[in-house]
Structures are given as C-alpha cells and as structure tokens.
Structure 1
Amino acid sequence: MENSITRRTSTQRRWRKVAYGGMQPGFDDNHTDETFLEEMVMNANVVKRDMLKVMLDSVSISQYLCIVALVVLVWTYTLSSTITEKFLLVLDVTLLGSGFFVLLLTAKMLSFNLLLNYAIKISFFTTGLYVLSPIYHTLTRSISSDSILALTTSLVILHLFLHNYSGSTVKAPGALESPTLTSNISLNASIVASLLIASRLPSRLLVFGVILFSLQVFLFAPLVTYCLKKYSFRLHLWFSFVLMGTTLGCVYKLHKLLFVFLLGMLVFVNLVCPYWLIRIQEYKFEINGPWDEAKLCFNITD
C-alpha cells in the first residue's frame, strides 16, 4: 500500500530544471524529460555580415598598408641620396602642421589646453631627438648593411602584424580605452626599425629628419586617421582612396614588381578577404541550450 502511494506521488511530481537545487525527489541527478531539447537554439550568436560593410571596414587596413609603404619609400629614397636634408625637414614640418590641423577640425574633445600640451611635448621630444641624433648616427656602424636590412624588414612585418587597425597608437581625445599591449609592441618595433635605417645615413641632419618623419607617421598618423574616421566615414573613404592611388603611383615609379605586389595585397585585403569571410560563415555551427553554464541574475531591492 505504501509503495503504491509513493509511486503515485513520484509520477505526479513534475521534474524542473534548476541550477543549484540539488536532487529532486523521485528523479535521478542526470534526469531530463522530453522538454529538455525544446530550448536548443542553433547559431544564436553568429553574426550575419554584409559584403559591402566588410569591404568598407577593410579599407582601414589598406590605408595603413599604404602609409607604411610611403614610409619605406622615404627610407629608400633617403638611403639612395635622392631626398635632400632640406626637403626632408620641410616634409616633417608639413606633416606636423597638417596633423595638428586635422586634429583641430575633427577631434570633438580636443581643447586648447590639450593642444598646447601636445605642442609642448612634441617640442621637448624634437629637441631631445636632435641632441641624440649623433648617437643614432653611429649606432650600427659595426653591423653589416645586409643584417640591418633583414632586421628592419622583420620589424616592419611584425609592426604590420600586431598593429591595431581599428584604433590608435596613442590615446585619442575623448577615447575610453588605452592602446593595447600588442599595439605598443607594434609601435616599438616600428621605432627600432626607424633607428636602424637612420643609422645608415651619411649625415646627422638626415638621421634627425628620418627619425622625426618616421615617428610622426607611426605615432600620430593612426591618431589622425582615427579622428578622421570618427568625424566622417565618407571623408575617411576619400582620403583612403587618394592615399592608395598616390602610393601605387610612387611605388610604380620605383619598381614595377613592387607595384604589382602592393596592388595584389590591396586587392586581397579589400576583395578576397571579405568574400572569404562571408563564405566561411556558412560553415559556422553553434548550439546553445540548457546544458550551457547557468547565468545567475539577482534582483536587488531596497
């Protein structure tokens, strides 16, 4: 009689899915009923990407590739004595003034005090760089040019691999997040590469001009392009396309094979990679259900 009563109560008692409720009377610890798989969801967190949007987002990568290519062009022309000291210093002043002008127009949180702080830091930085240029001039005198070239190429590749293409190397005005560790490693790699190239130049003034030019580009170019993109995405696209065309024209004058290589990289980044990313989304398979780790929610009342 007692056994029939306990069976009846256990069959009438319904199983409930609880997180930390312990064993339920009448059911095993690993028991599941027919409703267990009703909450299964397929690909709940998979983001459906648009081909055009992915292509537009990849423009930032191509933009920075062209910026680094222009820096390498300046290094090449300076090593071959095609660029003079006067032209290089004028280029440094022009880039610095243009960068401050773009920041002043695009950065919403940029105040006069912050701009003055930037100017003071850059003046101290430029003075220290000019004082240390004789040391940089003789830094790698005992190392062969082939070793310097191989090491510089490796550092530039490392810089491109670790660079943060969606942010800035320095904290932008009004930004909440600071540069990441990989971004700082990428910046240090570009600075060391600039020092190695500058140490092979014939005059100290050229050393100062090349290092100042490289640091302006690697430090402040990502900040300027970041503020420009936040200000107007259409202006960011126009600037990127003009920069790509200018870079391809300059590389074509230097070497046709390098022009083909750079053009292939830009096509691969802007067309092949977005198409590849869209296609592999079809093979993404994700299952979510009641077996996932429970997320506890607590209602705090006064």
Structure 2
Amino acid sequence: MESETKKSYSKHKWRKVAYGGMQPGYDDNHTDESFLEDMIMNANVVKRNFFKVMLDSVSISQYLCIAALVVIVWIQTLNSAINETSLLFLDAGLLGLGFPIIFLTTSELSFHLFLHYLLKIFFFISGLYILAPVYHTLTRSISSDSIWALSVSLLLIHLFLHDFSGYTIRPPGAKNNPTLASNISMNASIIASVLIASRLPSRLHVFSVMLFSLQIFLFAPFVAFCITKYSFRLHLWFSFSLMAMTLGIIFAMHRMLFVLFLALLVFISVVCPYWLIQIQEYKFEINGPWDEAKLCFDITE
C-alpha cells in the first residue's frame, strides 16, 4: 500500500519550491533537467577596451607626477636651491591659477560660494602662519634620517590609499562622507609635509613649504577633477604636459631617477592595462535562481 502511494506521488512533476518543504516522492535535494535553464554566465563581467583602460590610467600617472613635483620642491628647498621668497611667489601663483580654472570649468560655483571659500582659505593661511613656529621646532630632537624614512613611508601610504576617482564639488552644508582610506591618505600627506617643513632653517620657509604642500595635496586634485569633468581632451593635454614637465625636471636633476620614473609611468599606463585585459579571459561568473536575494531599498528624503 505504501509503495503504491509513493508511486502515485512520483507521477507529479517536480517543482522548484523555495519554502514549501519536501515534495512527496522526491528527495529534498532533488533537481531535474530544468534546474540549469536559468543559469547565466558572466552577466556582470564588463569587457574592457585596452585603449580605454590606458586613458583611464592617465589620472594615476598625473597624480604621481604631482607628488613627484612636491618631493622635488622639498629637496630643492632643503638644499637651499629655492628660497622662501620664490616659494611664496609659487604659492600665490598656484592660488591665482587654481581659482580661475575652477570658475571656467565649473558652472555650479557661484560668486557667493567663491567668497565663502575665499574666507575659509584666508583663515586657513592665517592659522598656518601662526602655527609655523610650532612646526619649526616640532622634530628638533629627531634625526634627519628618521625624518626622511618616515616621510617617504607616509608619502607611499598617501599614494597607495589616495582616491584617484576624483572629487565632487559640494556646496556648504552638503553631506560629504569620505572613506576611511581617503582620510588616512590625506592625513599621511599632511604629516609628511609637517615633518619635512620642520627641518627647514626659518619660520618663513616652514610656512611657505607647508602652504605649498597643502595646496598640492588638498587643492590640486580638486582642480584636476574640474578639468576632467569639463573636458576629457583637456584633461589629457593637461596630464601629458604635466608628465613632460616632471620628466624634464627629473632628467635635469638625475639621469637614473629619470629612467626609473619613466619606467614607472610606462608600467602604470601600458603594462598594468595590458595585464587587466589579459586576466579578463579568466573571469568566470555564474548566476542563477540559487543566488541569495539582494535587497534594494529606495530611501528618499
């Protein structure tokens, strides 16, 4: 009697039941030939173009050149090749060049917002000038070798954790949630700037180098993002010009450093995109009805 009942149950077609429990006549792990009909392979895998990836890597090479120029200014200032007056003119030139670029490439920046930012910059520069004597004597008891080792380590941390995706323009009062990695990167660059500035001979040197470093690390990525957002072709011209200038300065300083830095740029802009395209062949992703459900919430204020 029991076997007849089981046979009658087995005549029913097996159905995929998520929370219906076991189906009579079938094991709880039973599957039939229709189980793999909804299987999707590589649905979310993005096929990348080699030339497009090379163009996207230009932003990384651009920022490496910016960081290299900062280090060059640090070295030349420590070697007394650049005096504090030249640094102050350089700081003023960077500020005078950055704001017009932002105004010409951004339509979201109003005159009221410009005055707001200008007031903040004034307080920032004033506070930096007041704290320059503190920075000047901050690392007096630490050897120069330790300062350089720590500064190089912090600069590497800054480059490794830097957000190369760019910066968005946010008006005052808008929400801004930077990631932990970007905060660590920014703090590492500021600490490295303080350590280098503390080895300079005068307080004016400290102020001018600190202002220059913070302009580059805080202000330059924002300007570069505005250029990229306005015109990608202008971004490429700006990046390649910056690379050429950096390579020219390094070539005049040291030939071996020039070769190493050029190899680094080629590695980032050519070799790494090539590797990325090659490993795409080994990308294998399977999706189907067995995947866990992903909850999506549409939260509107």
Change in Cα spacing, 1:55 to 1:296, as seen in structure 2 (3 Å) is closer
- Over aligned residues, Cα RMSD in angstroms? 1.9
Give, in whole Å, the separation in 2 of the partners of 1:295 and 1:158.
35
Spell out, residue by residue over 1:68-106, the C-alpha distance to the aligned partner (whole angstroms, 9 max, x if none).
000001001100111111111010011011111111111
Residue pairs, 1:15-26, within 5 angstroms: 15-26=14-25
Q: Does 1:220 align with 2:219?
A: yes
Give, in whole Å, the separation in 1 of the partners of 2:256 and 2:140.
31
Spell out, residue by residue over 1:128-158, the C-alpha distance to the aligned partner (whole angstroms, 9 max, x if none).
1101111111111111111101000001111
Q: Does 1:112 align with 2:111?
A: yes
Q: Counterpart of 1:240 in 2: which secondary structure?
A: helix
Residue pairs, 1:206-285, within 5 angstroms: 206-285=205-284
- Report the counterpart of residue 169 of structure 2 in structure 1: 172
- Report the counterpart of residue 39 of structure 1 in structure 2: 38
Q: Counterpart of 1:39 in 2: which secondary structure?
A: coil
Spell out, residue by residue over 1:6-45, the C-alpha distance to the aligned partner (whole angstroms, 9 max, x if none).
623x233222213222222332221111111222222222
Spell out, residue by residue over 1:143-183, the C-alpha distance to the aligned partner (whole angstroms, 9 max, x if none).
11111010000011110000001123xx5237976421111
Give, in whole Å, the separation in 1 of the partners of 2:241 and 2:37.
54
Change in Cα spacing, 1:2 to 1:219, as seen in structure 2 (3 Å) is closer
- List alignment gaps of at least 5 residues for structure 2: none
Residue pairs, 1:1-302, within 5 angstroms: 4=4, 7-8=7-8, 10-168=9-167, 172-173=169-170, 178-294=177-293
Change in Cα spacing, 1:211 to 1:294, as seen in structure 2 (3 Å) is closer
Q: Under a length normalisation based on structure 1, what TM-score does the superposition of the two structures give?
A: 0.92
CA contact 1:110–1:173 (8 Å) conserved in 2: no
CA contact 2:10–2:26 (8 Å) conserved in 1: no
Shift of 1:269: 0.3
Which stretch shows the higher mean deviation, 227-236 or 16-25?
Answer: 16-25
Give, in whole Å, the separation in 1 of the partners of 2:177 and 2:106.
16
Give, in whole Å, the separation in 1 of the partners of 2:47 and 2:169.
30
Shift of 1:2: 8.2
Q: Counterpart of 1:100 in 2: which secondary structure?
A: helix
CA contact 1:107–1:173 (8 Å) conserved in 2: no
Change in Cα spacing, 1:43 to 1:118, as seen in structure 2 (3 Å) is same
CA contact 1:155–1:193 (8 Å) conserved in 2: yes
Give, in whole Å, the separation in 1 of the partners of 2:145 and 2:188.
18
CA contact 1:19–1:294 (8 Å) conserved in 2: no
CA contact 2:129–2:207 (8 Å) conserved in 1: yes
CA contact 2:159–2:185 (8 Å) conserved in 1: yes
Shift of 1:295: 5.0
Instruction: Tell me which amino acid in the other structure corresponds to 2:169.
Output: A
Q: Counterpart of 2:33 in 1: which secondary structure?
A: coil
CA contact 2:6–2:25 (8 Å) conserved in 1: no
Shift of 1:296: 7.4
CA contact 1:159–1:189 (8 Å) conserved in 2: yes
- List alignment gaps of at least 5 residues for structure 1: none
Q: Counterpart of 1:228 in 2: which secondary structure?
A: helix
Q: Under a length normalisation based on structure 2, what TM-score does the superposition of the two structures give?
A: 0.93
